């Protein structure tokens, strides 16, 4: 199963992954136009402290506590990818209570948001990986 | 192999999904005393609020039973279990034989014995879809609704009906709202927020007498009402097991494999009590995530795969009128506290581990704290000062981060 992996050694803390993530879900073609003057709310987030930086996004866990805890059934795991049916989510935040990585977050439109490996976007592949200038985020098979 | 599941809610679904991982062919029969496709019970308040619909509150899609080869028998109440012949006797006199049986009977609202309760015509409980619909059907603009109980169910009911321009009053014996999950200060924040949303409270009071449309409190305050909602709590449905001599306390007693004390009978969900690992005490933890995970655990063991669920803790994510609350674990030990009047955070720790937490307002990344409780993470293995302030993976060691984010194995 291919996953997004992060190597903090290479992370510059530049936050480009966050911009690429926010851009991907707009399904627009021009990043500047899509994000200009907007406060972004990406599904991947950089943690920074004393010179250490790394990106955190959904690990698509083998034991998905968010899915098991979801009170509506909006979160589900299919073909190794955890996705959310935003139409059914009522933002109770039980998934935020359950996720050990802090990788599910509130959004503005009444549903929570999380990384879905860009499968619902027009491009279809993880854009944080594409946008990382230093190879700190990769999408690959590591036999997990 | 024939599996029989009594109950058709979260624990039952967890069991079906687990059984089907291991046994694609065995017969599964689900008995439900309700007449509905599986729905999410906590969503009934959101239904009244207009935030969901009956269609969207289905917990699994319409094809769930056929895809999982389940025979769903609706409107069937299990009356008793014939252990010797391994049969469940139903209210219509028929029976269902089993090889493995799961009790997932949930809980029932407790109706307090208040003098005069029988004179009240418009009285409702609030735990099922039918309850919600019945309540909604009698509400009119300006209806005066008196809710007995300022806990999770009573307050979610209050929020649910708030859009209907009704007048809501809540009475509770406790001095605090949500007394099962909040401490004094956080409870006060939530109470003020609810009051700002036009819910009135009479706390530290109880109703001593009821008439058709008036409640008399212990200090003789008289509260006129049109509709009464009883939300003082729920009781686990244990009788099927108790009647055949199985071990019960407040709930059905199960082990970490969700086995009851009777061979081939399992139990899961709100009808059970199990060990809260944050306090090491046996408790009824009537929470949807635990119900799913117990159901899953029972289903795995019923279908022959050894599986342990020993990480249950009390935990709640709940919100009212946009104010979010996340709590978990046990509130004992030393305290880390921060509050700016709007957001509130309290962490409880002792013996090198986190025991519990209360978050009101900013609840982001709460699961990082939940995980410390569940995994009993030794606090000296991480930057505790940092994680108190900012829940994140930064507080863990570099090696742990590489494992969590980079797939590096120990």
pLDDT in tens, B16-41: 999 999 999 999 999 999 999 999 99
Q: Cα separation of B233 and B322, whole Å?
A: 24
**Whole-structure pTM value:** 0.96
Where is pLDDT greater, at A109 or B400?
B400
**Burial grade of B265 (CB within 10 A; 0-12, 13-18, 19 or more):** buried
The answer, for A98 touching chain B at a CB cutoff of 8 Å, is yes
Sign of CA dihedral B182, B183, B185, B191: positive
* Closest chain B CA to residue A99: B367
The answer, for B167 touching chain A at a CB cutoff of 8 Å, is no
The answer, for A39 touching chain B at a CB cutoff of 8 Å, is no
The answer, for A6 touching chain B at a CB cutoff of 8 Å, is yes
Band of pLDDT at residue A143, cut at 50, 70 and 90: confident
Band of pLDDT at residue B341, cut at 50, 70 and 90: confident
Residue-level pLDDT at A110: 84
Does an H or E element contain A137, and which? strand A137-141
Q: Cα separation of B190 and B198, whole Å?
A: 13
Question: What mean pLDDT comes out for the span A95-123?
Answer: 95
Task: Output phi, psi for A33, to 5 deg.
Answer: -65, -40
Task: Output phi, psi for B268, to 5 deg.
Answer: -155, 150
Nearest-by-Cβ selection for B40 from A6, A56, A72: A72
Q: Domain boundaries in chain A?
A: 1-57+119-144, 60-114
Residue-level pLDDT at B158: 98
Band of pLDDT at residue B65, cut at 50, 70 and 90: very high
B-chain residues near A99 (CB < 8 A): 367
Cβ distance B289 to A94 less than 8 Å, yes or no, reads yes
Residue B86 CA, chain-centre distance (Å), reads 30
Average per-residue pLDDT for chain B: 97
The answer, for B328 touching chain A at a CB cutoff of 8 Å, is yes
DSSP string, A45-95: EEEEETTEEEEE-----SS-HHHHH-SSS-EEEETTEEEE-TTT-----HH
- Which of B9, B317, B357 best probes binding to A when mutated, by most A CB atoms within 10 angstroms? B317
The answer to whether the complex's ipTM is over 0.95 is yes
Residue A24 has pLDDT above 70, yes or no: yes
The answer, for B392 touching chain A at a CB cutoff of 8 Å, is yes
The domain over range A1-57+119-144 is classified in CATH as 3.30.70.20:
yes
- Which of B405, B408, B410 best probes binding to A when mutated, by most A CB atoms within 10 angstroms? B405
- Tell me the Cα Rg of chain A: 15
Domains within chain B, CATH numbers bracketed: 2-42+58-108+235-302 (3.50.50.60), 117-230 (3.50.50.60), 322-406 (3.30.390.30)
Residue-level pLDDT at A118: 96
Cβ distance B319 to A91 less than 8 Å, yes or no, reads yes
Q: Cα separation of A75 and A64, whole Å?
A: 10
Residue B329 has pLDDT above 90, yes or no: yes
B-chain residues near A48 (CB < 8 A): 394
Residue B58 CA, chain-centre distance (Å), reads 17
The answer, for B159 touching chain A at a CB cutoff of 8 Å, is no
With CA atoms as reference, report the closest residue to B173 among B123, B120, B122, B110. Answer: B110
Band of pLDDT at residue B406, cut at 50, 70 and 90: confident
Alpha carbon of B347: minimum distance to chain A alpha carbons (Å): 14
Residue B237 CA, chain-centre distance (Å), reads 14
The answer, for B308 touching chain A at a CB cutoff of 8 Å, is no
Which CATH class, in words, describes the domain spanning A60-114?
A: alpha beta
Residue-level pLDDT at B372: 98
Residue-level pLDDT at B410: 54
Q: What is the pLDDT of residues B198-235, one digit of tens each?
A: 999 999 999 999 999 999 999 999 999 999 999 999 99
Residue-level pLDDT at B361: 97
Residue pair B234/B286 in contact by the 8 Å Cβ criterion: yes
Q: What is the pLDDT of residues B109-138, one digit of tens each?
A: 999 999 999 999 999 999 999 999 999 999
The answer, for B21 touching chain A at a CB cutoff of 8 Å, is no
Residue B85 CA, chain-centre distance (Å), reads 33
Put simply, the chain A residues between 46 and 65 with a CB less than 8 A from any chain B CB are: 47-49, 52, 54, 56, 59, 65
The answer, for A120 touching chain B at a CB cutoff of 8 Å, is no
Same fold for the pair A1-57+119-144 and A60-114? yes
* Closest chain B CA to residue A104: B365
Question: What mean pLDDT comes out for the span B150-157?
Answer: 98
Cβ distance B398 to A8 less than 8 Å, yes or no, reads yes
Residue B409 has pLDDT above 80, yes or no: no
């Amino acid at each position: 199963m291919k996953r997004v992996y992060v190597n903090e050694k290479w992370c510059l803390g530049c936050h480009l992954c966050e911009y690429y993530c926010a851009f991907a879900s707009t399904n627009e073609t021009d990043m500047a136009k899509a994000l200009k003057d907007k406060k972004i709310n990406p599904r991947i987030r950089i943690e920074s402290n004393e010179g250490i930086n790394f990106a955190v996004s959904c690990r698509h866990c083998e034991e998905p506590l968010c899915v098991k805890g979801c009170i509506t059934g909006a979160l589900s795991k299919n073909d190794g990818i955890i996705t959310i049916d935003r139409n059914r989510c009522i933002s109770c935040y039980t998934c935020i209570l359950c996720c050990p990585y802090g990788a599910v977050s509130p959004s503005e439109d009444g549903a929570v948001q999380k990384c879905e490996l860009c499968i619902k976007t027009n491009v279809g592949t993880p854009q944080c990986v594409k946008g990382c200038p230093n190879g700190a985020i990769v999408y690959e098979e590591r036999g997990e | 192999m024939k599996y029989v599941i009594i109950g058709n809610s979260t624990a039952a679904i967890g069991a079906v999904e687990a059984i089907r991982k291991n046994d694609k062919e065995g017969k599964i029969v689900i008995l439900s005393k309700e007449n509905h496709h599986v729905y999410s019970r906590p969503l009934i308040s959101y239904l009244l609020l207009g935030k969901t619909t009956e269609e969207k509150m289905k917990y699994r899609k319409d094809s769930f039973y056929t895809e999982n080869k389940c025979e769903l028998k609706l409107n069937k109440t299990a009356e008793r279990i014939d252990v010797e012949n391994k049969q469940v006797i139903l209210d219509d006199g028929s029976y269902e034989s089993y090889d493995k049986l799961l009790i997932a009977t949930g809980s029932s609202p407790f109706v307090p014995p208040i003098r005069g309760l029988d004179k009240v015509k418009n009285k409702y409980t609030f735990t099922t879809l039918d309850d919600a619909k019945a309540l909604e059907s009698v509400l009119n603009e300006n209806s005066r609704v008196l809710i007995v109980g300022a806990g999770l169910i009573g307050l979610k009911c209050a929020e649910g009906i708030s859009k209907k321009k009704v007048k809501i009053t809540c009475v509770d014996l406790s001095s605090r709202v949500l007394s099962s999950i909040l401490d004094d200060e956080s409870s006060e924040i939530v109470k003020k927020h609810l009051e700002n949303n036009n819910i009135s409270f009479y706390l530290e009071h109880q109703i001593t007498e009821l008439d058709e449309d008036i409640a008399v409190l212990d200090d003789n305050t008289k509260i006129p009402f049109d509709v009464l909602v009883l939300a003082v709590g729920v009781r686990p449905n244990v009788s099927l097991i108790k009647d055949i001599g199985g071990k019960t306390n407040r709930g059905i007693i199960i082990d970490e494999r969700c086995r009851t004390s009777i061979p081939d009978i399992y139990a899961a969900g709100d009808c059970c009590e199990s060990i809260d690992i944050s306090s090491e005490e046996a408790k009824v933890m009537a929470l949807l995530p635990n119900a799913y995970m117990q159901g899953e655990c029972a289903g795995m063991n019923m279908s022959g795969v050894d599986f342990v669920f020993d990480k249950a803790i009390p935990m709640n994510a709940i919100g009212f009128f946009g104010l979010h609350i996340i709590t978990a674990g046990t509130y004992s030990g030393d305290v880390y506290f921060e509050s700016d009047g709007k957001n509130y955070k309290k962490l409880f720790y002792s013996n090198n581990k986190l025991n519990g937490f209360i978050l009101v307002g900013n609840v982001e990344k709460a699961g990082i704290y939940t995980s410390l409780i569940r995994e009993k993470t030794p606090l000296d293995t991480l930057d505790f000062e940092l994680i108190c302030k900012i829940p994140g993976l930064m507080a863990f060691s570099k090696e742990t981060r590489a494992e969590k984010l980079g797939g590096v194995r120990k």
